[in-house]
Structure 1
Amino acid sequence: MNKALIKKNFYEAVNKDWLEKAEIPADQPSMSAFLELHLGIEKTLMDLTSVWESNNKELNPQLKKYIKYYQMTKDFEKRDLLGSKPFEVIKNRINGLKNLSDLEASYVDLTLDGIETPFGYYVMQDFMNSNNQVLYFGASDLFLPDTSYYKDEQSKEQMLGLFTQTSKALLALFGYNEQDGQSIIDDAILFDSLLVPVTKSSVEKADYVKMYNPLKKEEVNQKINSFGVIKTAEKLVNQKVDELIVLNLDFINAFDSIINEEHFSLMKSWMILSNAMAFASDLSDEIRVASGAFSRALSGIKEARSKEKFAFYQAYNRFGQSVGLYYGKHYFGEKAKNDVKAMVHEIIGIYEERIRKNDWLKEETKEKAIKKLSTLSVHVGYPDELPPYLDQIDIKNYDEGSNLVLEKIKMNRLINAFNYQKYNQAPNRNLWGMPASMVNAYYSPTNNQIVFPAAILQKPYYSLEQSPSENYGGIGAVMAHEISHAFDNNGAKFDEFGSLNNWWSKEDLDAFNQKSQDMIKLFDGVETGVGPCNGTLTVSENIADSGGLRCALEASKKKDDHNYDEFFQNWARVWRNKSSKEYAELLLRVDVHGPTILRANRQLSNLEEFINFYEIKEDDPMYLKKEEMVSIW
């Protein structure tokens, strides 16, 4: 560690050598501790895939399907020979739509097949009753990643210019002449502009409870005349639908003025372009590379993934749960699993202690918080079961008359049918939202559940070879971070069953909301090197970071061999990151997580123990006055 920098920039003091030497891979927007682990797992899984391809006799049926599909994705000779021809089945279906009535009649089949439409239905847990799954409804995403890009004329012109360049090159490869291609692009962008005023910004989406807007069947039918939204919903789920949860009331209120016969030709162009983008990765290599030009420019990525990596991910992304289960069982030892589980329950115990000692909550609210904590479901390593549709997938290869577009449609139909069948059913809480081979972790407020896949349980986050203090500063803080999401500005609105329910007294809720505002203030406008942090956008993650860091430090301090320096250093180490300027600027607009330099520095400055241990004084850049510190959990 560069000790001269400790009081000026602790993140740089710990990571200076790494930041100087680290290179951003040409096909990535950044390099980080997360990505280093990911790249190691990527190599392991790609090597495994090659071994399995040579001999798949011992593989289970799901992994055999994965290998068969992978052999299709990597056959670029065949893909290049087919060119854009496989997409014609989709293009012909869209071109065959003559009016809104045709779209309504075809909507269920289009949706089940995964063909993009301007609005969609999603089965998710009911916020008011987490033991049931209901139907949500909303508009499709915009072409640009956030509404803020449309509000600034300069950025709008620049971003839509880049998007148009990508679209032109792509449509030319689909066989459209310049005039027809430009006409499709112009119409699609015009339709996209109609959605902008009724689309929430990233900041608005960060408060996801506000996206829960139940409307009775009669209310929906009263507001919408141009399309049978309820009738279509009932066909999708094959049941009566008495209520829709609307993600954005602005869209429902403006539905007829956007989705109508006058705009139908614009919608068709939007569908052609959106689906050309969505299915480009299943076509020739030239088409898949061309389709990613806009997203690469947006993130500062220098080049597309190699054919080899792309083919692997295209297959892996479909069978990630199956491959991840194998990874978890074979690469994550039982000793480590037991150690991590013990660590999680220890952290939960520390969290309970901290709630009991809390000086701003009433006893009644404390007991309810502890009840929520006691019912928290913990999953470590790999799931106990996988989605059933993985057993139902039947891969047909090129020799059997299929292609990647047809296989994607077939798999989409299985997955989407499975999801819509969940309507009005209790959720299966054993299913994970990510594979065991993904470097990540998450908290589900509607399940009151935390999940730690095997992939993240590695150095620098966790290792049996690291000291306990290092592990607490890494995975311990991550664990406590995820637990803290149960009590962040979103999670705190859900009870121990995962249902939206105010379990707070008015005084305690007012105090919590004030502390949330204090956390916003602590980060809002703080410079990151590429722009100021948005404290409102990042508040939930900042609350979780703060609570997680304090709780993990408390756990570490209870150990006889606790070491402040090792704890603080590893906290800064796990957030090391080197990004392209474009990607860093993009994240400032859309990412609910704080910029990594602030997750390291600002959170540490917010701890008295850090300030005292390193003897940081008022004129040091890392200094934060005690009265400005924000402690919630």
Structure 2
Amino acid sequence: MRHIKCMAAKGMIAGAMAVAVAAMVWGCSAGRTEQDPGTGMESPAGMDGDGQAVTASRQPSASGQGSAPDYVDDFYNAVNHVTLGGWEIPADQPEMSWFRKVREENYNKVNDMIQKVSSGSGTGSREDGGGTPAQSDTGEIRDQENIRALNLTGLDREAREKGGYGQRAGEFLNKIEDAGTVGELLSASLRFQKDYGIYSLAGLVYTGDSDDSSVKSLYWLKPDTGLKREVWFSEEESNKKRVEEYKQYLTRLHESNGLETREAGETVERVTAMMKDLASSSLKIEETYDAKKTNNVYTARDASAIYPEALSMELLSGIYGIREDEKTVVAEPDVCRKLGTYLTEDNLPLLKEYVKTCLYADLSAMTDMESLNAAQEYQMAVSGTEEKKPFERTVSESVQQELGFQCGRLFCLKYFDDDAKQDVTDIVRKVIDVYDRRLADMEWMTETTRSEARKKLAAIMVKVGYPEQWPQDRYSLKLTAPEDGGLYVDNILAIRKADQDYMFRTKDDPVDRMEWEMTPQTVNAYYNPGNNEIVFPAGILQPPFYDPEGVPVTNLGRIGSVIGHEITHAFDTSGSQYDEKGNLRDWWTAEDKQRFEELAAKVVDYYDTMEVNGTKINGSLTATENIADLGGVSCVTEIAKDEGYDLRELYKAYAALWAGKYRDEYLAYVMTNDVHSPGIIRVNAVLSATSDFYTAFHVKEGDGMYQKVENRPGIW
């Protein structure tokens, strides 16, 4: 299972599928009940109680108070002092940053279109739009009809209260209750996953084969552990609190489904004990990025044998239509084996409780108001937010998540200019050209490996703006409006079913390399190793990330560094395991691989010495992103020197991009669970490792930004 590499982290919407967490649409996040605090997370700049960033080397005065630190002591705060001092975190948000601000702008733009469509006044996309994404009148009309139906059914509180879990999920709950054997429970659970992509005990999906990226293979999903291993077994007080808040949240869900408080609490204790036990056999977060650990190939029959007889090949074949000898990849077999110890008839009552608990959490934001309130209050508790999001916003966010590409087409028609697409594509090509020159002169690589690296670089596919073919045009989707009896949860599950049906219907087709894993209005970017592609959605191609009328050196320091970051992911400790076709293949000589691993270890050691708000950076957890940050800035530095740009302005532009304020609870979570380093580290650590920065700002020994030459890591 291949992870795509994003410029900034993303959060999960309660009960909803996360988009593009892995290189598949409904991948490992599909059945997870864990909810990250807030949505649309990006890597934070570390903050203390009053908003001040703190590093291991220096503790400057509070942001926005007193004088700014010197550039040579704390570059991040020197550049962002005024910005941070003027920002307040919204009461219903866990942080404030440029990512958040632009995402908020995009949310408002899309929300405005959603409300206009729902009221029958259109979107204004044709009159006002500058973009020309491929589309048809029929496709745009169908998008608007589905957006209207989902939004209005979401806003219909009375229908949601009366409808409960709706027809589809309601039938599944009845089957759970009626299951007389573990086999019957597994059958019901697997059929629900096959139809709707939501799972608990197990699940199967088709996605690009890591060994041959042109075809699809069957991937086995691990059971739902509720929270990550890093949370369940953490000694950090913030994570311990998160566990207790999670239990309280699940208890409330069981209460809203008819259990008395004591019985609900006892049920949750049993279920979460099982989840924690399963998590004990999970891979660490950083290990999930290592294909050598996750590309475990079986036949379907051998994969089913990981479990006891309850999960038979006959059951799998009957539900999914798979063959005994079909290639099957089990990313985390140890967790599956652990689950197998629970699949006994004596455990049937516990397994029923577990499956229902997972479903309650997965659907909590799309059913009754009590469940929604429980989900929101849980989010508040673990993220430190002071207010719940307004009800109308929870619905609009869900519409923008579930119908992301439908909203994206309208967004691009109205707000995206194709001139920007060409301009950014030109910048990408310039960065690739410089990167190629750097590879050609890479002293630590032999010619054999260097040639393979340059071949991979030349083959990178570049996607900018929006997809050439909109995914919703590949199949029919018609949601039911409230006036026709439509129910919110049923409409959402209808969307999921359309996606699932398409995935299974096309499982034998070649991989469509033109598909996107991220919606065009998203403020982010990513590298997908399985496609060897870098993708820059329209949402990030606006100020402050990119300004078509902006100063070239500023654009280079911002969108240019983002581009360099994503390209470097092709050569980080994870992406470097894949070749120019996106296949998992060792293209390194033994000598070069050893040298690369030594350089990567130096990056890990370098970041391990740093801390934010008293918490040390986990250099292993953040290694791939740190390598990408270092490579991106190194590349744009060379371009700036070639173009005769002022390096001081380049580095200021880069640093400004990562300004951010974060609530303590939110920061504590991402510090131990996010593969991205906090923003202050992405600025100060990267520039302290960049020799040209020392020259540009006359940094000397004794300054806060100073690192000894031998301690400065660098690979690309």
Task: Name the TM-score class by shorter chain.
Answer: over 0.9
Report deviation, 1:448. Answer: 0.4
2:663 is aligned to 580
Alignment of 1:147-226 (within 5 A): 147-152=230-235, 158-226=241-309
Give distance in 2, aligned partners of 1:374 and 1:203.
Answer: 28
Q: CA deviation at 1:4?
A: 4.4
For 1:108 and 1:312, the matched residues in 2 are separated by 30
For the residue of structure 2 that corresponds to 1:105, the secondary structure is helix
Please give the per-residue CA displacement for 1:126-148, whole angstroms capped at 9, x wherever unaligned: 11111111111132332223335
Q: Which residue of 1 aligns with 2:498?
A: 414
Deviations 1:176-232 (A, max 9, x none): 222432332122123213312221222322334421111234533544323335444
Once residues 258 and 285 of structure 1 are traced to their aligned partners in structure 2, the CA distance between those partners, rounded to angstroms, is 33
Where in structure 2 are the equivalents of 1:505-544 lying within 5 Å?
A: 505-544=589-628
Specify the alignment match of 1:31 in structure 2: 96
Name the structure 2 match of 1:254: 338
- Amino acid corresponding to residue 189 of structure 1 in structure 2: T
Alignment of 1:294-313 (within 5 A): 294-313=378-397
Query: How many positions carry a matched residue from both structures?
Result: 632
SS in 2 for 1:380: strand
> Is the 1:135–1:244 Cα contact (8 Å) retained in structure 2?
yes
Partner of 1:274: 358
* Structure 1 segment 615-626 matched on structure 2, within 5 A: 615-626=698-709
Structure 1 equivalent of residue 225 of structure 2 = 142
1:592 aligned partner: 675
How far the C-alpha of 1:329 sits from its partner, in A, is: 3.5
Select the structure that is richer in helix.
1
Correspondence for 1:479 among 553, 558, 563:
563
Q: Does 1:96 align with 2:178?
A: yes
1:69 aligns with 2:150: yes
Relative to structure 1, is the Cα distance of residues 155 and 548 closer, same or farther in structure 2, using a 3 angstrom cutoff? closer
Query: What residue number does 1:345 align with?
Result: 429
Q: CA deviation at 1:363?
A: 1.2
Give the TM-score taking structure 1 as reference length.
0.95
Aligned partners of 2:392 and 2:659: how far apart in 1? 28
Provide Cα deviations, 1:543-585, integer angstroms capped at 9, x if missing partner: 111111111121122224x121211011111111111111111
- Structure 2: unaligned runs, 5 residues or longer: 1-63, 124-136
The alpha-carbon deviation at position 65 of structure 1 amounts to: 1.3
Matched to 2:676, the amino acid is H
The letter of the residue matching 2:211 is M
Cα 1:147/1:119, change in 2 over 3 Å:
farther
Match of 1:488 among 548, 565, 572: 572
Unpaired segments ≥5 residues, structure 1? none
One of 87, 103, 124 as aligned partner of 1:22: 87
Cα distance in 2 between the residues matched to 1:389 and 1:415: 12
Question: Matched residue of 1:137: which SS?
Answer: strand
Q: What amino acid does structure 2 have at the position aligned with 1:397?
A: A
Q: CA deviation at 1:120?
A: 1.8
**Once the 2 structures are TM-superposed, how far is the Cα of residue 153 of structure 1 from its aligned partner?**
9.2
Q: Secondary structure of 2:427's match? A: helix
**Which residue is equivalent to 1:55?**
121
Distance 2:446 2:408 in 1: 44
**Compared with structure 1, are the counterparts of its residues 470 and 494 closer, same or farther at alpha carbon in structure 2 (3 Å cutoff)?**
same
Question: In structure 2, how many angstroms separate the alpha carbons of the residues matched to 1:510 and 1:229?
Answer: 43
- Report how far residue 610 of structure 1 moved: 0.5
Q: % of aligned pairs identical?
A: 27
Does the alignment pair 1:6 with 2:71?
A: yes
Cα deviation for residue 280 of structure 1 reads 1.7
Can you list the C-alpha shifts for 1:427-473, whole angstroms capped at 9, x where unaligned?
Answer: 11111001100001001000001100011011121102321111111
1:474 and 1:85 map into 2 onto residues whose CA distance is 46
Matches of 1:370 and 1:247, distance apart in 2: 30
2:417 aligned with 1:333, yes or no? yes
Change (3 A) 1:81 1:265: closer
Q: Kindly tell me: are residues 283 and 221 of structure 1, through their superposed partners in 2, closer, same or farther at Cα, counting changes over 3 Å?
A: closer
1:530 Cα offset (Å): 4.4
CA distance in structure 2 between the partners assigned to 1:373 and 1:567 by the alignment: 24
How far has the Cα of 1:392 moved from its partner?
A: 1.3
Query: After superposition, what is the alpha-carbon deviation per residue over 1:527-546, rounded to whole angstroms, capped at 9, x for unaligned?
Result: 11241100000000011111
| Contact 2:457-2:580 within 8 A present in 1 as well | yes
**SS of residue in 2 equivalent to 1:325:** helix
2:174 corresponds to 1:109: no
- Measured in 2, the distance between the counterparts of 1:209 and 1:398 equals 49
Whether the 8 Å contact between 2:206 and 2:217 is mirrored in structure 1 is: yes
Which residue pairs with 2:401 in the alignment? 317
- Assess if the C-alpha contact under 8 Å between 1:389 and 1:418 holds in 2: no
For residues 307 and 153 of structure 1, the distance between their equivalents in structure 2, rounded to whole angstroms, comes to 33
Bigger RCO of structures 1 and 2 (CA < 8 A, at least 6 apart)? 2
**What is the rounded CA distance, in whole Å, between the counterparts of 1:236 and 1:571 in structure 2?**
51
Q: 1:366 to 1:168 in 2, by over 3 A?
A: same
Q: 2:695 aligned with 1:612, yes or no? A: yes
CA distance in 2, matches of 1:397, 1:527: 51
Distance 1:333 1:60, change over 3 A: same
SS at match of 2:216: strand
SS of the equivalent of 1:121 reads: strand
